[in-house]
Amino acid sequence: MPELPEVETIVRRLAPRLRGRTVVRADVRRANVVRGTPQRFERAVTGARIESVSRRGKFLVFRLADGRVWWSHLRMTGQWRVERERGRTRPGPHGRGGRVRESRRMDVAHRPDDPYVRAVFELDDGSTLSFVDVRTLGEMEIVSARQWTRREAAMGLEPLSPEFTPQALAERLAASRRPVKEFLLDQTRIAGLGNIYAVEALWRAGISPRRRARSVGVRRAVRLHRAIVDVLRQAVEKAGTSLGETSQDYVDSEGVPGSFQEFLDVYDREGEPCRRCRTPIRRIVQGQRSTYYCPGCQR
């Protein structure tokens, strides 16, 4: 499931391709990927000019020139893809050879007849933006600037922003009776963390995922804050995590997987020795999600 680093990677890839582009035709093929009816969404998006592409928590945010906001959420298996028009040879900044190689790779990764393409948007430069989703849990909507501001206000702290301080984290932890792992997944407290980076941050901070949030205390909260920021920054640098188990796995909008999976310390390592104290990593289920932790050095 894409978390902050994966969504951030997609945003960075999409931004230069979508900025300033206008949607000339829209085809919503699966009704439940849009809020409201497909017809209404197609009407709302056709003619819209994308001014900027950004991220809030795990949401992708396309700001439109008329002030409206086109948001999308990938949920489990959603993907955005951009393809240039087939056969088009536009020399890129690296010369013609590089561009041709790139488009061949994209042709393999992005089949236009893919049965999981749920919505297709043709852009004014001849490229195509598609929303692909195997499990069809992802969704999108176009809302007014005011509606978006209201929705954003209900979201938690952005962990890579200046507002996310050790003190802000400690205050929120102190107000929650839930296990700290479940606290970290609550998007109204901190926006963008999911299962993988929550368990990695807890391992780095040496905090048991079962500990009550309000018993974490200030000293551990400072360590947890550092761990969250570090693991997210490193994962963004490695373009996210792709576990590579199925075709539903995370890839960016160019079809390229991330590489942070090579740096995971506890996630998906049940029974393997802890890299700090050699105790076998344990897997438990919390809130219907797998938690991995070291019972030896996470307190």
CB of 39 to Zn ion, least distance (A): 55
Residue 132 or 274: the one with the smaller Cβ distance to Zn ion is 274
- When binding is defined by CB under 5 A, the residue of 31, 76, 218, 277 that contacts Zn ion is 277
Give one DSSP letter per residue of 112-181, joined into a string: TT-TTEEEEEEETTS-EEEEEESS---EEEEE-HHHHHHHHHTS-B-TTSTT--HHHHHHHHHT--SBHH
Q: Strand pairing partners for 60? A: 55, 72
Number of residues that bind Zn ion (CB under 5 A): 7
Answer for the pair 204, 266: CB distance below 8 angstroms, yes or no: no
Q: Is there a catalytic annotation at residue 299?
A: no
Helix (H) or strand (E) holding 55: strand 50-56
Cβ contact 139:92 at 8 Å: no
Q: What is the DSSP string of 68-85?
A: -EEEEE-TTTEEEEEEPP
185 belongs to the binding site for Zn ion (CB under 5 A) = no
With CB under 5 A as the contact rule, the residue among 181, 274, 292, 293 that binds Zn ion is 274
**2 carries an active-site annotation:** yes
> Least distance from C-beta 209 to Zn ion, angstroms?
13
Which secondary structure element, helix H or strand E, spans residue 39, and what is its range?
Answer: helix 38-45
Q: Does 296 bind Zn ion (CB under 5 A)?
A: yes
Rounded Cα–Cα distance for residues 177 and 12 (Å): 37
Q: Which of 30, 276, 283, 289 binds Zn ion (CB under 5 A)?
A: 276
297 binds Zn ion (CB under 5 A): yes
CA 87 from chain centre, in angstroms, equals 31
**What is the contact mask toward Zn ion in residues 219 to 258, using x (rule: CB under 5 A)?**
----------------------------------------
Q: Is 238 a catalytic residue?
A: no
**Where does this chain touch Zn ion (CB under 5 A) — which range of 23-31, 51-59, 257-265, 287-295?**
287-295
Q: Would you name the residues annotated as active-site residues?
A: 2-3, 58, 289
Site residues (vs Zn ion, CB under 5 A)? 274, 276-277, 279, 294, 296-297
